[in-house]
Amino acid sequence: MTRDEMAQVLATVTATTSGKIPAPRVKAAVDRIVGDLFVSIEELDVTPDEFWAAMSYLAQAGQANEFGLIAAGLGFEHFLDLRMDEADRKAGLEGGTPHTIEGPPYVADAPVRVGEARLDDGSDPGEVLFVEGQVRDTDGTSLAGAQVEAWHVDSLGNYSFFDKAQSDYNLRRTIATDAEGRYRFRSIVPAGYGCPPDGPTQRLLDQLGRHGRRPAHVHFFVSAPGHRKLTTQINIDGDEYLHDHFAFATRDGLSPPVVRETDPEAIRARGLDAPFARITFDFVPEAERASLPPAEVHRIRDKAA
Ligand code: MBD
Ligand code: FE
């Protein structure tokens, strides 16, 4: 088809029939994307069979609730994160903890604890992990009463809620910082993450010659009054997938050292009988100011019934 002919079809299908446009922003996006796809179909000479295979794929991805995974795996979530970075830079923001993508596995309303929490329910035989640190302002002031939401997978690589074999909110807690702005929690060292092996996302990655692995990591939301909500993750340092990452989420400064504690005294002091891992990580959310770009991303998130 010629360019002119394509422009004509596009004009026909994007014409309004009622004379009013209730959602101009939606219309602008849909018109643009439809036009871009017409061009892609033309230039790639996409056959009707291929087009309908793609439609069927999208339906399956929706049914499996994997659009969040696909958004991460195709780099859209990282791209959006980089665009937020650019907007922050232009607004003169600098010096806080780097943010990175949220990913799909957050579940709202995890139990809240003050100062410290245990995230695992005791049934996971994984290595014990202690994580602790402080929430501070960019000027060093400690932030008491900040909320640190943490979530991660078990030693098999699965998130509670999505994995119904785990107890409710296993490995998910909200910790309010103490008077010195400190938080700490006990958990187990998470395994790496892999996309569900039989799911639509992994099927697509297979066809692209890609794996669906992520390094072991812990997700965080950090919220403090007067501060911008921080969405970030720390990786377990040394993981083989640190820099080969299906969701492109690794950023400098987010792989703190893991200290392996083998000293019998230290082990006994924690009431344990085997060596454990320890990570120290401080969070520095940026102060909120008028006319900054929004820090909080709104998306429909899962919620336990
Ligand atoms: C995850 O666990 C995750 O953290 C991201 C970013 C994408 C998919 C799964
Ligand atoms: Fe994750």
Which range marks the domain in which residue 227 is found? 70-303
pLDDT tens per residue across span 171-197:
999 999 999 999 999 999 999 999 999
Residues flanking ion ligand 2, Cβ below 5 Å? 103
- Whether residue 105 has its Cβ less than 6 Å from ligand 1: yes
- Give the other-Cβ count within 10 Å of 57's Cβ: 14
45 falls within a domain: no
The verdict on residue 252 lying in a domain is yes
What are the φ and ψ backbone dihedral angles of 17, each rounded to 5 degrees?
-105, -20
Q: How far is the CA of 219 from the centre of ligand 2 (A)?
A: 6
Q: Is 171 in the pocket of ligand 1 (CB under 6 A)?
A: no
For the Cβ of 71 lying below 6 angstroms from any atom of ligand 1, the answer is: no
The gap from C-alpha 36 to its chain's centroid, in whole angstroms, comes to: 28
State the distance from the centre of ligand 1 to the C-alpha of 69, rounded, in angstroms.
Answer: 7
Place of tokens 């990591």: 217
> Is 243 part of a structural domain of the chain?
yes
pLDDT at 305 over 80: no
Question: Residue 53 falls within a domain, yes or no?
Answer: no
Residue 69 Cα: closest atom of ligand 1: 8
Mean pLDDT, to the nearest integer, of 198-203?
Answer: 98
Give per-residue burial for 267-305: e unless 16+ CB within 10 Å, then b. beeeeeeeebbbbebebbbbeeeeeeeebeeeeeeeeee
Domain at 204, CATH number: 2.60.130.10
Instruction: Report residue 67 CA to chain centroid gap.
Output: 13
d(CA 195, CA 247): 10
Give domain status of residue 8, yes or no.
Answer: no
**Ligand 1 atom 4: residue of nearest CA:** 103
Rounded distance from Cα 126 to ligand 2 centre (Å): 17
For ligand 1, say whether the CB of 199 is within 6 Å of any of its atoms. Answer: no
**What's residue 15's pLDDT?**
95
Number of domains in the chain: 1
Beta strands in the chain (DSSP E): 107-108, 112-114, 116-118, 128-134, 147-151, 172-176, 182-188, 193-194, 213-214, 217-223, 230-235, 259-261, 276-280, 302-303
pTM for the model: 0.95
Report which secondary-structure segment, H or E, holds 41.
helix 24-44
The reply to whether 156 falls in a domain is yes
Q: What is the pLDDT of residue 233?
A: 97
In a domain, 60, yes or no: no
Tens digits of residue pLDDT in 25-53: 999 999 999 999 999 999 999 999 999 99
Averaged pLDDT score across all residues of the chain? 96
Residue 5 in domain: no
Distance 92 CA to ligand 1 centre (A): 29
